[in-house]
């Protein structure tokens, strides 16, 4: 009997664990280690953050789902990995620390035959003074990164709306809270959902709205932007993003590294090296992501974290990490199997894998401060990678070390993205986009780096319907309800 241990219960980890349990059956063990008791459909946190959904609508308890699937669930956080075992045993193990009430703080060594690291990111609020600290979100801004954060964000939003109803102008500052953030899409959704809600509440004219982002241009989204065919033209996403911001009367500041946050004020550095500050009454700034801080030790107890993980804390996989200039970046730099090069029974999926480099053109201010988005690895890519890793692990268990590993390169994978711009069955809108491939391949697609037959985007009610349907569809799938395997990642 083999034991597969999956670290993390988000999109990537949940997908890996549930498919592995299904394909391996009861002959082998699948264990999930995640500090959270609930699964969260993160894309809908946006709607929690504007009071259009409750926390219960975007989360569900993991324990009964894993019990149904025959998966052992340990509500704990992973602390370290010993891929060679220790001096008393050759069996690799991961050290975990329980977070569940009653066992909180207790540690345990969980042995494994195969390990899948799908921990997701650490929300690194501490990277920007005032944005938060090592314990999480600070007091000056809000976040929509977790369901609890989104509930808090809505509470603060409602206070601002009440102030506007009483005649007090409010300044909204939404975007990224550091020069190395990703997830611009979430902030993009949030600012337009707030704008939509303010119009519904009849107070839009009392609000000044501003976007602040580390993107070099609007519509970069951490993917270097995208080009799509519209009306006989092939145009950049910049044009569409600027159009939407202008249409909704939302000002923007791009190429900004927020370097300090105080009560009602964000300080920033721009690509031209100038420093500035922006006042706000309400601010949602996405924190940068980092690895969760897992350590790794060899058999003698020597620290091998730098061998297993990249400096940013994400796990090294089969990517080409050779430093090279932007002009030499290739699609083939990106990983295909997500297998750790040092320990072949370890894989990383979703945000937890270390990308070879960013996707957007690297930029830094004249002062040398890097200001560019880091690559998005959430949602559809996370699910597809998680499933491919589950496939590989199952084949390795069933067919031995020479089994073929399944591949899911982000340079050969598309992504469907639906960015809400306001909720409402008849009044809502969303930008429905697909991009193929996620990582541009300029050798295969000279010009835009992507296949413009499959890269498109448009704004409308249809996009909102799709986002709403996806909410129910993916929660249905994640609960492993009948037919769940038929719903694609």
Residues at the site binding other proteins, with contacts judged by CB under 8 A: 239, 242-243, 245-247, 249, 251-252, 380, 384, 387, 408, 412-416, 426-427, 429, 432, 434, 436, 454, 456, 458-463, 465-466, 488-489
**How far is the CA of 79 from the CAs of 98, 109, 291, in angstroms?**
10, 10, 12
Minimum separation from the CB atom of position 466 to other proteins (A): 6
Using alpha carbons, select from 207, 120, 108 the residue that is nearest to residue 161.
207
Using alpha carbons, select from 110, 108, 99 the residue that is nearest to residue 36.
99
Q: Which is nearer to other proteins, 287 or 463 (CB)?
A: 463
Q: Determine contact, residues 256/244, Cβ cutoff 8 Å.
A: no
Rg (CA), the chain: 22
Minimum separation from the CB atom of position 174 to other proteins (A): 17
Minimum separation from the CB atom of position 229 to other proteins (A): 12
Listed in order, strand segments (DSSP E) in 15-71 are 29-34, 38-40, 59-61
As a whole number of Å, the end-to-end CA separation of the chain is 28
**How far is the CA of 12 from the CAs of 16, 264, 363, in angstroms?**
6, 36, 30
Q: Which is nearer to other proteins, 99 or 448 (CB)?
A: 448
Q: Which is nearer to other proteins, 343 or 456 (CB)?
A: 456
d(CA 475, CA 489): 12
* DSSP character at residue 86: B
Q: Which is nearer to other proteins, 313 or 437 (CB)?
A: 437
Q: Which is nearer to other proteins, 286 or 380 (CB)?
A: 380
| Helix, strand counts (H, E) of the chain | 10, 26
Which residues, at least 6 apart from 96, have a Cβ–Cβ distance to it below 8 Å?
33, 74, 76, 77, 78, 79, 107, 108, 109, 110
Q: Which is nearer to other proteins, 454 or 472 (CB)?
A: 454
Q: Which is nearer to other proteins, 287 or 449 (CB)?
A: 449
Kindly report the length of the chain: 489
Q: Which is nearer to other proteins, 94 or 209 (CB)?
A: 209
Q: Which is nearer to other proteins, 92 or 379 (CB)?
A: 379
Q: Which is nearer to other proteins, 274 or 427 (CB)?
A: 427
Minimum separation from the CB atom of position 414 to other proteins (A): 4
* Three-state SS at 489: coil
Minimum separation from the CB atom of position 113 to other proteins (A): 26
Which residues, at least 6 apart from 375, have a Cβ–Cβ distance to it below 8 Å?
182, 222, 223, 355, 358, 359, 360, 410, 439
Minimum separation from the CB atom of position 441 to other proteins (A): 13
Minimum separation from the CB atom of position 344 to other proteins (A): 24
Minimum separation from the CB atom of position 432 to other proteins (A): 5
Using alpha carbons, select from 311, 312, 308 the residue that is nearest to residue 296.
308
Minimum separation from the CB atom of position 26 to other proteins (A): 27
d(CA 179, CA 406): 34
**How far is the CA of 429 from the CAs of 189, 201, 373, 419, 441, in angstroms?**
11, 17, 26, 9, 31
Minimum separation from the CB atom of position 39 to other proteins (A): 21
Which residues, at least 6 apart from 417, have a Cβ–Cβ distance to it below 8 Å?
185, 379, 380, 431, 432, 433, 434, 435
């Amino acid at each position: 009997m083999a034991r597969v241990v999956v670290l993390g219960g988000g999109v990537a980890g949940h997908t890996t664990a549930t498919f592995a349990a299904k394909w391996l059956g009861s002959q082998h063990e699948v264990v999930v280690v995640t500090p959270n008791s609930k699964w969260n459909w993160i894309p809908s946190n946006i709607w929690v953050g504007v009071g259009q959904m409750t926390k219960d609508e975007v989360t569900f308890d993991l324990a009964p789902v894993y019990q149904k699937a025959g998966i052992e669930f340990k509500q704990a956080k992973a602390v370290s990995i010993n891929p060679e075992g220790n001096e008393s045993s050759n069996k690799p193990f991961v050290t975990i620390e329980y977070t569940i009430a009653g066992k909180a703080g207790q540690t345990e060594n969980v042995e494994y035959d195969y390990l899948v690291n799908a921990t997701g990111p650490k929300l690194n609020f501490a990277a920007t003074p005032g944005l938060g600290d090592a314990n999480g979100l600070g007091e000056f801004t809000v976040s929509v990164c977790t369901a609890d954060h989104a509930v808090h964000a809505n509470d603060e939003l409602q206070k601002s709306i009440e102030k506007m109803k009483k005649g007090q102008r409010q300044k909204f500052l939404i975007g990224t809270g550091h020069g190395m953030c990703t997830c611009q899409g979430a902030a993009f959704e949030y600012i337009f959902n707030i704008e939509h809600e303010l119009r519904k509440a009849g107070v839009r004219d009392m609000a000044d709205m501003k976007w602040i982002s580390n993107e070099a241009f609007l519509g970069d989204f951490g993917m270097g932007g995208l080009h799509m065919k519209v009306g006989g033209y092939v145009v950049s996403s910049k044009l569409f993003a600027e159009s939407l911001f202008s249409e909704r009367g939302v000002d923007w500041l791009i190429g900004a590294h927020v370097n300090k946050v105080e009560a009602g004020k964000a300080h920033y550095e721009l690509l031209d090296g100038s420093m500035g500050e922006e006042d706000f009454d309400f601010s949602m700034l996405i924190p940068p992501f980092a690895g969760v801080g897992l350590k790794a030790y060899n058999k003698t107890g020597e620290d091998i974290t730098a061998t297993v993980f990249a400096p940013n804390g994400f796990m090294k996989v089969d990517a080409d990490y050779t430093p090279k200039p932007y002009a030499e970046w290739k699609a083939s730099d990106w990983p295909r199997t997500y297998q750790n090069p040092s320990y072949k029974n370890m894989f990383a999926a979703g945000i937890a894998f270390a990308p070879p480099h960013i996707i957007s053109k690297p930029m830094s201010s004249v002062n040398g401060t890097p200001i560019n988005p880091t690559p998005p690895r959430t949602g559809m890519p996370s699910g597809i990678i998680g499933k491919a890793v589950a496939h590989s692990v199952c084949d390795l268990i069933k067919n031995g070390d020479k089994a073929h590993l399944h591949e899911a390169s982000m340079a050969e994978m598309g992504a469907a993205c639906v960015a809400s711009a306001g909720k409402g069955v008849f009044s809502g809108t969303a930008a429905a986009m697909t991009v193929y491939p996620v990582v541009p391949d300029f050798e295969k697609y000279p010009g835009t780096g992507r296949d413009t037959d499959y890269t498109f985007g448009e704004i409308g009610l249809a996009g909102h319907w799709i986002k709403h349907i996806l909410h129910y569809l993916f929660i249905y799938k994640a609960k492993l309800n009948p037919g769940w395997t038929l719903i694609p990642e």
